[in-house]
A and B are shown apart, each in its own frame.
Chain A
């Protein structure tokens, strides 16, 4: 083995890595916010009881979005809609959010389905409007059940955000490639960012389990990471 490990160039370029790490966090956080909004709307539409247009369009959205590779989503925003001149960061946010939103919608749908039907009926019986019953009775219970699955989708999203480097968003993977190109410390730089991703993903997964009530259901709900 002629390759000598040398970590000094990585340390010397630490400001690039920190910058990329922060961009990764910003990108994941914005995409997650948008994906949660999409997921809650589409998932709630999918959980309606009538087999109406609402449920069909929800299912169509989920099947369409999650069966198309994320890279194709990103190319759609970055290449096909190039005439909109969106900044790469926005393209990545939209691509990631539409893609992950479909996964979140599935979780929301099954989370709402897991709340016993009697809960909603009882809420209606004591005089809550359907909207109030959903907001104050069904959602709070459903979100607790959903927390472990949401944690795994969230960590998936953070890892998926690395693909944004392909459309020139200067996040962690992009900076790593830049450092690799300058210093040729290939192995060291990629191991370093792997560990940074691992750190971020673990922090988020454990953080989400601190949500009140989340731990009660962890044992009961199989996570589908």
Chain B
């Protein structure tokens, strides 16, 4: 690609590598924090909806439906502009993005976890109840461990999705990988090499997350 104005390939990347790596570190940081937070919230919501705890379950039903019908970008805008205005607090783009990602991905994870919980055979639940476990114990020690091991592949699909979606944080001004790459592009104007670098980096990390998921699943899967 040697159109006018496009520089030779690696130069612009190598020169700015420290800046790009700082962006990558931020992307990793946001992903890890959001995955941990989102999974915790998702499991909690999934269990509450599975157990049909009164009021809370209905509340979370609305929450899940609402978030799953809303684009991520709008969720981020609500967390960055909406909530601070409504509740009168100050926030940074970074923490607003993490809050947004957690709220967003938790809704999807909750739905996956609930269907995992539902797929645990009823006979197991009855057997556990017959042994004298309370309803809470059955959920904690029988249903949840089995369900979580079964839904590992779906969870990792969502983690890959979340990792890709962290790029959207650049829109509200977080200089993670995509944000810093586009900043560099504004200065260097080497869009082909910079966007190719971006695409390749995301590709490698997404494939790595998927294979990590497959590895964990192959270790933990319950075989018949």
Contacts and interface: CB of A to CB of B under 8 A. Distances in A.
Contact of B86 (A76, A187, A201): A187
Chain B interface, DSSP helix/strand/loop, else mixed: helix
B66 A173 contact: no
Interface string A196-218: 01100110000000000000000
Which of B78, B83, B178 has its CB near the most chain A CB atoms (within 10 A)?
A: B78
B74 A225 contact: no
A79 B85 contact: no
A222 B195 CA distance: 36
Contact of B202 (A72, A155, A180, A197): A72
Given A67-B164, A72-B198, A197-B74, A3 B192 contact: no
Given A79-B191, A194-B66, A186 B203 contact: no
A96 to B, nearest CB: 12
A61 interface: no
Contacts of B72: 159, 162
Contacts of A76: 195, 199
A71 B191 contact: no
A69 B167 contact: yes
B78 A191 contact: yes
B22 to A, nearest CB: 18
B5 to A, nearest CB: 8
Nearest to B205: A67
A71 B168 CA distance: 7
A200 B175 CA distance: 32
B167 A190 contact: no
A193 B74 contact: yes
A67 B202 contact: yes
B74 A162 contact: yes
Interface in B154-192: 154, 157, 160, 164-168, 170-171, 178, 182, 185, 191-192
A162 B178 contact: no
A68 B164 contact: yes
A2 interface: yes
Interface string A137-169: 000000000000000000100011111011000
Contacts of B154: 224
A8 interface: no
A70 B74 contact: no
A194 B69 contact: yes
Given A2-B88, A190-B74, A198-B70, A68 B82 contact: no
Contacts of A162: 71-74
A64 interface: yes
A169 to B, nearest CB: 12
Contacts of B3: 83
Nearest to B171: A166
Given A80-B191, A173-B74, A197-B70, A71 B207 contact: no
A225 B78 CA distance: 23
Interface of A: 1-3, 63-64, 67-72, 75-76, 79-80, 82-83, 155, 159-163, 165-166, 173, 176-177, 180, 184, 186-187, 190-191, 193-194, 197-198, 201-202, 222, 224-225
Given A63-B207, A186-B82, A198-B66, 15 more contacts: A3-B88, A63-B203, A64-B203, A69-B167, A70-B167, A80-B191, A83-B3, A159-B69, A162-B72, A163-B71, A166-B171, A173-B74, A173-B77, A190-B74, A197-B70
